[in-house]
Amino acid sequence: MDIDRNRYFMFGVILFLLGLQFRLVDSFVLNESSTKALHKFSQRASIASNDAASNVYMQVASPKKSLRPPNWVGFILLTVGGVMSLHAMVLPKKGP
């Protein structure tokens, strides 16, 4: 797949809008199935959180995990998306 001017511009716009969302939203709340999948993944990755109370809580209750992304993630995505979109405007148009 050849990346031409339009795809480059659209990828920049998507990154810009994603960065805008990261800047405007304070935290993201995952649903129950995503929280359980994240717990299973983190349980395999680290040995420190293998206590019985957290395992029972994850199996019985329907917990919801809240994620707070750092501020710099939004700024980085805004910057990269803006630069890519502006750079796509100066790329040559695809010939006939």
- CA 96 to chain CA centroid, nearest Å: 37
pLDDT in tens, 9-68: 999 999 999 999 999 999 988 888 888 888 788 776 444 455 666 655 555 556 677 889
Please report where in the chains the tokens 């993201």 appear, as a residue: 28
Q: Please give the Cα distance from 13 to 80 (Å, whole number).
A: 10
Spans of all domains in the chain: 1-26+68-96, 29-67
pLDDT of residue 50: 55
Residue percentage of the chain with pLDDT more than 90:
42
Q: What's the pLDDT band for 77 if we cut at 50, 70, 90?
A: very high
Dihedral sign, Cα of residue 15, residue 18, residue 23, residue 24: positive
